[in-house]
Amino acid sequence: MKIHVLILVIPVLLSMGCKKETPAGPRDPKPVNLSAKASQVIANSNEFGIDLFRETAVADDGNLMLSPLSASTALSMLLNGCGSGTYSQIRDMVGYQDLTMEEINDTYQSLVAQLLTIDPEINLALANSVWYRQGFEVKSPFLERLETAYNARTEALDFNNPSSVNTINGWASDNTNGKIEKVLEEISPDAVMFLMNALYFKGRWTYQFDNLLTSPVRFNPENGDGANVPMMMGNFPYRKYSDNQCTAIELNYGQQNYAMDIIVPNGTLSSYLQDFNHESWLAITGGLDAIITPLSAVIVIPKFKFDYEKYLNDQLQVLGMTDAFNPALADLTGISDENIFVSFVKQNTFVDVNEEGTEAAAVTTIGIEVTSAPEPFVVDKPFIFAIRERLSNTLLFIGKVEMPVY
C-alpha cells in the first residue's frame, strides 16, 4: 500500500511544489462562552457518546456512524418526563449528575444557540419534535417545557392513519436536507409517542482537496480482500498527534471551529476499539489542541459516503439505562399517567466526505408505548389441579375437574 501511495503522491508533491501561491489563512475560530458547569456537562456528555460508540462498534461489523449530540438531545427531552430510578439512570448515563432539570435545559439552550451561529461558513441545523397519538393524555407541563427549552414541534396525530408515518418521515427528511428520508416503516398499535431530534451538518474544508488529484489507491480492510478506492490528495496545513496506540490527524472546516479528526490505530481497529474510551479521546484531542502551528504536508484520505440505522436499546442498557425499557419499572409519569415505557431508541445517520467538505445528518427517534394488559387466561375446559408446599414441593392434593359444580 505504501508503494502505491508513494507513486501517486510524488507527482502531487511536484505539481504543488511548482505553485508559488499558498492558500489564504483561515480566520481564527470564534470562542464558545460556557460556564464551568456547562463545560463539565459537555465533557461528561462526550464520555457518554464515546461509550455509546464503543459499545456499538465492537458489536457491529461494517461502516457505522452515530451522533452523540443527537442522542443526548433526544434523551434530555425524555428526561423531562421521567421520575425516580428511570430519571437518575438516564441523567447519570448522559452526564448530568450535578444538574437540576432546569439547569439541563438551560445548558442545552446555551450550547445549541452558539453551535448554530458560531461559524457562518457552516450550515448546521437542529430540530426537535414530539408526535403523540390522538386521545393519549399528555401532561401539559411536559409539552410546554419541550416547546420552550427545545423549540420542539408538538403535534397529535391519528396513529391508525397510514399518513401519520408519512408525516413523521417527512419531518425527518425536511430537517436533514433530504438525507434521511425514512425513520419509521409503521406505527405499532401500542405506540403512543415519538420523541425526535434531527441534526444536519454541511461544512466546506478550510483547505479543500482538488478533485483532479483524486485517484484510486488500494485500501486494505481488516477482514477480506483489499481493493482500490478513490483517494483524495492535498498539500496543506493539518494537525497530527501520535502515541503508542494510534496516529490522529485533524482537518478543519470553515473558520476552524469545526473539524474532522481521523484516528488510525497502530494495530487492528477491532483490538483498538476494545480499550477506546473517554480518556483515549481526551489524550488525542488534547494532543491536537496543543499544536500551535499546524504541519503542511501531503494528505491522502479516502472519499466515503454511506447511511446507517441502528436500534440502541442493548447499548443503552449496558450503559445503565435499564428501567425505561422495562414496562414494570419505567417511570415516565412526567409525560402521562398512563403506564408507558420506552420501546426503542434508534438512530438513522448519513455521511458524505468528499473533496469539497462533509455533509452529515442524524435523526434520533425514541418510541414510547403503552404497557399492554396481559392476555386473559381462561380455563374453559377440563383441567387438573394440585395443592403443594412450594419450598419442599410436597404434594398435598391433586385432582381434576371434568365439569365444575358448586
Q: Residues 218-251: pLDDT tens digits?
A: 888 888 788 899 999 999 899 999 999 999 988 8
Q: What pLDDT shows up at residue 199? A: 94
Displacement of CA 110 from its chain's centroid (Å): 20
Residue 318 has pLDDT above 80, yes or no: yes
Residue 312 has pLDDT above 80, yes or no: yes
Cα–Cα dist 346/364, whole Å: 6
Q: What pLDDT shows up at residue 380? A: 76
Confidence of residue 374 (pLDDT cuts 50, 70, 90): low
**Cβ neighbours of 222 (radius 10 Å):** 11
Q: What pLDDT shows up at residue 30? A: 85
Q: Could you say which DSSP state residue 31 is in?
A: P
Confidence of residue 375 (pLDDT cuts 50, 70, 90): low
Q: What pLDDT shows up at residue 390? A: 66
CATH 3.30.497.10 residue ranges of the chain are 36-204+309-370
Residue 274 has pLDDT above 60, yes or no: yes
Residues 6+ apart with CB under 8 A from 46: 68, 278, 281
Report, as an integer, the average pLDDT of 47-51: 92
Beta strand spans in 243-339 (E)? 246-253, 258-265, 295-302, 304-311
Cβ–Cβ under 8 Å, residues 252 and 262: no
Confidence of residue 6 (pLDDT cuts 50, 70, 90): very low
Residue 23 has pLDDT above 80, yes or no: no
Report, as an integer, the average pLDDT of 145-153: 96
Residue 399 has pLDDT above 80, yes or no: no
Q: What pLDDT shows up at residue 22? A: 42
Q: What pLDDT shows up at residue 26? A: 59
Provide the Cα torsion 338, 341, 343, 348; round to 10°.
Answer: 100
CATH code at 208-302: 2.30.39.10
Residues 6+ apart with CB under 8 A from 102: none
Q: What pLDDT shows up at residue 37? A: 80
Fold of 36-204+309-370: Antithrombin; Chain I, domain 2 (3.30.497)
Q: Provide the mean pLDDT of the chain.
A: 88
- Give the tens place of pLDDT for each residue, 86-117: 999 999 999 998 889 999 999 888 888 888 99
CA torsion sign for 305, 253, 294, 266 is negative
Determine which helix (DSSP H) or strand (DSSP E) holds 169, and give its type and residue range.
Answer: helix 163-174
CATH 2.30.39.10 residue ranges of the chain are 208-302
- Give the tens place of pLDDT for each residue, 259-272: 989 999 999 898 99
